[in-house]
Amino acid sequence: MTEPKRSPLLPLDDALARLLAVAAPLPGVESVAVGDADGRVLAQDVVSALHVPPQDNSSMDGYAVCCADLGAPGVLLPVSQRIPAGASGAPLQSGTVARIFTGAPVPQGADAIVMQEDCTSVEGTSTPQVQINVLPTPGQYIRRAGEDVARGDVVLASGQRLGPAELGLAASIGLASLNVARRPRVALFSTGDELVMPGTVAPQDMPPGAIYNSNRFFLSALLRRMGCEVTDLGIVPDQREATVQALRDAAQSHDVILTSGGVSVGEEDHIKPAVQLLGTLDHWQIAIKPGKPFAHGRIGAAHFLGLPGNPVSSFVTFLVLVRPFLLQLQGARQVAIKTVAARADFTWARPDKRREFLRVRRNDQGGLDLFSNQSSGVLTSAVWGDGLIDNPPGCAIAAGDTVRFVPFSELLT
């Protein structure tokens, strides 16, 4: 009997394009406190209602001066006022200087700041005096009003993913809350009768063929880092009826169903027929290594995403396909993986015909070292490494070659 001809593997870029084409941003906006908005995606532009800084202020501890009052280095002038941060100084009297501190408003009539290290205080007189040892240039050490943010500026754009700097900027213009996209509601479960939850069976008592379920933990953590609300449905037995019921229940109240394992074509792989029974399924074989099996479909209003069962395959496939999908569901503007050029300090002489994601680690010489075992089941490679090389199909790597490096810091935030 002639075996049916297999469809060619789908290039990763094509699979991602197809996935993003159906990832319409979810409806709904939430108002959250600025301090709780880390990692969320902004749902509308943030426009500043004020200048930052609100007025000209000093960037140094020192003396506010009028340059026209200074003749030559060493000039001695009286100190007419003291202006700490948060105070409002009087206009500068002609022929005098003002003691000023970092962040304090520059008094009217002053056009430069001389830092205190370039001045000498003179004691023993009824009026404090200071000797200006270094002549300033006009505008020196003055931060102008609106230099950081001008009134009416769009300081944060809709679709921007918020991090610590963005939250600080929002607070600097007086915002206590931000309007952000609703979190995707994701149901997560694993399939496989061989899976055992850590803590339920001691290592020495594990039955033959059993393995601990690691995917459940790193996928749950990745989903939360992507801003999702996660419902962990645990392990579903390798039974058609149980799989159908789990998918049907999950589709009722979730935007996305994410599974690990069971998306191949074996007799115990029930995900594919169960999704087809309940909805529609695009079952792709992706031309990447690790991570070839991948499925997308719909069950009612819920998206279905099926990942391979091998841990590194599941990990990598999540990063390159699921992560951008989830970001786009939240309306994020930037979803593409960003690579940086780096030097390979190893040889990869037998490349695969598929696009490879190699686990590597930066070394003290500024290059990349390769983990010795690139198997899809070796999760220690993802712990040892601090990123991936995105290696084109059939591309051998020689020591010294420039490669495309994707730091985990880019993917896991």
In the chain, what is the greatest distance between 2 CA atoms, to the nearest angstrom? 110
Choose the final residue of a domain: 287, 310, 329.
329
Preceding peptide of 290 cis, ω within 30° = yes
Per-residue confidence of the chain (413 residues) as pLDDT tens digits?
A: 454 566 789 999 999 999 999 999 999 999 999 999 999 999 999 999 999 999 999 999 999 999 999 989 999 999 999 999 999 889 999 999 999 999 999 999 999 999 999 999 987 777 899 999 999 999 999 999 999 999 999 999 999 999 999 999 999 999 999 999 999 999 998 877 788 888 888 888 888 888 888 889 999 999 999 999 999 998 888 888 989 999 999 999 999 999 988 665 554 467 888 999 999 998 889 999 999 889 999 999 999 999 998 999 999 999 999 999 999 999 999 999 999 999 999 999 999 999 999 999 999 999 999 999 999 999 999 999 999 999 999 999 999 999 999 999 989 87
Choose the final residue of a domain: 299, 329, 359.
329
The DSSP symbol for 43 reads: -
Q: Would 2 be classed as within a structural domain?
A: no
CATH number, domain with residue 219? 3.40.980.10
Say if strands 57-58 and 62-65 run parallel, antiparallel, or are unpaired.
Answer: unpaired
pLDDT at site 1: 46
Q: Are residues 230 and 261 in the same domain?
A: yes
pLDDT at site 6: 67
Choose the final residue of a domain: 302, 329, 356.
329
Q: Are residues 45 and 166 in the same domain?
A: yes
Q: Would 268 be classed as within a structural domain?
A: yes
CATH number, domain with residue 43? 3.90.105.10
Q: Are residues 161 and 190 in the same domain?
A: no
Tens of pLDDT, residue by residue over 328-363, are 999 999 999 999 999 999 999 999 999 999 999 999
Return the bridge partners of 42, or none: 180
Going from the C-alpha of 352 to that of each of 11, 53, 288, 378, the distances in angstroms are 14, 56, 9, 18
Q: Would 210 be classed as within a structural domain?
A: yes
10, two tokens: 């789908």
Q: Are residues 22 and 71 in the same domain?
A: no
Q: Which residue, chain included where needed, has tokens 């009134």?
A: 151
Contact (CB, 8 A) for 126 and 63: no
Q: Would 203 be classed as within a structural domain?
A: yes
User: Range of 205's domain?
Assistant: 12-26+183-329
CATH number, domain with residue 114? 2.170.190.11
Q: Would 4 be classed as within a structural domain?
A: no
The enclosing H or E element of 409 equals: helix 408-411
Contact (CB, 8 A) for 160 and 132: no
Q: Are residues 197 and 98 in the same domain?
A: no
Going from the C-alpha of 81 to that of each of 88, 101, 145, 210, 384, the distances in angstroms are 11, 12, 22, 79, 60
**HSE-up (13 A, CA, CB side) for residue 6:** 8
Q: Are residues 257 and 317 in the same domain?
A: yes
Q: Would 131 be classed as within a structural domain?
A: yes
Q: Are residues 312 and 405 in the same domain?
A: no
CATH number, domain with residue 357? 2.40.340.10
Q: Are residues 67 and 138 in the same domain?
A: yes
Q: Are residues 17 and 42 in the same domain?
A: no
Q: Are residues 302 and 219 in the same domain?
A: yes
Q: Are residues 197 and 164 in the same domain?
A: no
Going from the C-alpha of 262 to that of each of 58, 88, 192, 235, 238, the distances in angstroms are 64, 69, 7, 12, 8
Q: What angle do CA 25, 28, 34 make, to 5 degrees?
A: 100
Number of domains in the chain: 4
Q: Which residue, chain included where needed, has tokens 């008094």?
A: 107
Q: Are residues 206 and 315 in the same domain?
A: yes
Going from the C-alpha of 82 to that of each of 44, 88, 107, the distances in angstroms are 43, 10, 10
Tens of pLDDT, residue by residue over 367-387, are 999 999 999 999 999 999 999
Q: Would 303 be classed as within a structural domain?
A: yes
Q: Would 47 be classed as within a structural domain?
A: yes
In 241-399, at which residue ranges do the beta strands (DSSP E only) sit?
A: 256-260, 280-285, 288-289, 293-299, 302-307, 340-344, 355-362, 367-370, 387-391
Cα(42)–Cα(91) distance, rounded to whole angstroms? Answer: 42
pLDDT at site 267: 43
